[in-house]
Copies of this chain bind each other. A is one copy, B any other.
Amino acid sequence: MTEDNNVEVPRLGIEPEAFRLAAANMVDYVIKYYCDVDKRQTFSDVKPGFMRALLPESPPDRPESWQEVFSDIERIVMDGMTHWQSPGFFSYYPSSASYPSMLADMLCSGVPCIGFSWASSPSCTELETVMMDWLGKAIGLPECFIHGGHGPGGGVIQGTASEATLVALIAARSKTIRRELSRDPNQRTHDIVGRMVAYTSQCSHSSVERAGLLSLVEVRRLPVKDDGALEGGVLKEAVLEDRKAGRIPMFVCVTIGTTSCCTFDDLEGIGKTCETEDIWCHVDAAYAGAALVCPEFRFICKGIERATSFNFNPHKWLMVQFDCSAMWVRDSTDLINSAEVNPLYLRHNTESATIDYRHWQIPLGRRFRSLKLWFVLRMVGVEGLRSHIRRGVREAKHLEELVRCDERFEVLFPVILGLVCIKLKRPGSSLEDENDLNERLYDKIHEDRRIFIVPATLNGVYFIRICTGSTHCSIEQVNKCWQVITEMAGEL
């Protein structure tokens, strides 16, 4: 209870000169990490609970030296990392890394502000507004999504695509409640919500289903054919059926680049239905949206001008470090109206003319993430980003060729961007046996540890997905990856 053992610490924890030296160590460490990342095992062998044994039970009372902490990074942390930047990483979708993005993160962390309102840090809000316009133009979005346009549309940086989906669904819920109450003010809100129905395809990301659970809106996962794409006609039919049953269709999540198989829903057809049926059309292009910087890939988003909101993750494939999920809406008042509360301590006298991004998102506080977009867009340039995307696509096309030349294997979906989905064929045998074969192949590849991939399923078919385009991927690495797969297949 006394202050006897008081340890006086510098204002910022350590002295500035100590920070300068430590930061130089850290920069060297990071550079070396990328130079040697190919020597690290992509997926770790550590067992659950490994780290507790390496750490003391409680924090120290008195300060430890930088050297003690610094040396523990390698000793304690690095062996248990999944190395997303490793050339052996073909799993999930990539997570970007670039030096310009790291420099921006250093500034964001170094000069911290919490930009929940315009007043809490004007630059944080204003740079985000302009950067979302820059990025929107770079991917060819229609003007209705641009802040600097003439409408109420604009962009915001969310943490993740899952949050963007939830924000859109909650805004749609809120808009639908208002509309229904204006038709009949005697309805109870919970009855209205209980009749709502949202749609997405069975291939959409699990976070769409989760957004439904969180917001209490039922999500119907509509079937797709073996091409993995949701058709406008299938949606239309479901909507009419639900309307007939007295339900309220109010939201669709269209996926452009599904997680399991990188297929593209029929945005044009779905968008038309949404327009005629007054349904919120949210586009989740978390991975594939980055490819829109290249004009030759914009066909995947045909119909985008019909969308109500659009989202993609620059942190996946556009050289921006996590987290930076870019979301645009056609009408920002839809977001603001969905859950605005505005106490005195958060108000400021410039409110009417400004954006308070806290109304556009789930959390209150927010980091200065637009710095990452600013640095990357300027230091790489739009043409630089295009060649980054094209490199990833070339790698995938190369892998596709390799697979097609091996008659034991089959490529399951058109390879448009960086994902290649394959399986071993066993002609004449049952689907179950073929699945079993491919599961065994996957297990062997996973245990081998030279590459890290994940499997997926569609309509009962089990397959292996291989995603190119990560930081250190290359044609040579794709060859090595294929070498591992064929070697393991040969052992079966």
17 more CB-based (< 8 A) A-B contacts, given A12-B99, A13-B379, A81-B121? A1-B296, A3-B390, A11-B471, A59-B135, A59-B377, A59-B381, A64-B378, A66-B103, A81-B123, A92-B114, A95-B112, A96-B112, A105-B106, A106-B106, A160-B363, A162-B365, A206-B341
- The copy count of this chain in the complex is 2
**Chain A 187-213 against B: per-residue CB contact (8 Å), 1 yes, 0 no?**
011110110000000000111011001
Interface presence of A364 (CB below 8 A): yes
**17 A–B contacts, CB within 8 A, in A order:** A16-B34, A26-B106, A51-B127, A57-B137, A59-B381, A61-B381, A66-B379, A78-B111, A79-B123, A81-B124, A84-B113, A84-B121, A109-B321, A163-B362, A206-B346, A260-B344, A322-B367
Residues of B within 8 A of A387 (CB): 3, 6-9
| Those of A1-58 within 8 Å (CB) of chain B | 1, 3, 5-9, 11-14, 16, 18-20, 22-24, 26-31, 33-35, 43-44, 46-52, 55, 57-58
A61 touches B123 (CB 8 A): no
Interface residues of A in 307-336 (CB under 8 A from B): 319, 321-323
Q: Is A409 engaged at the interface, CB distance under 8 Å to the other chain?
A: no
Cβ distance A406 to chain B, nearest Cβ, rounded Å: 24
The 5 closest A-B pairs by CB, nearest first: A190-B194, A30-B110, A80-B123, A13-B98, A51-B126
Q: Does A486 contact B (CB under 8 A)?
A: no
* CA of A130 to CA of B14, assembled, Å: 24
Instruction: Report the Cα distance A259→B114, complex, angstroms.
Output: 15
Report, as a range, how many residues of chain A touch the other chain: 35 or more
Q: Which of B49, B103, B216 interacts with A190 by CB under 8 Å? A: B216
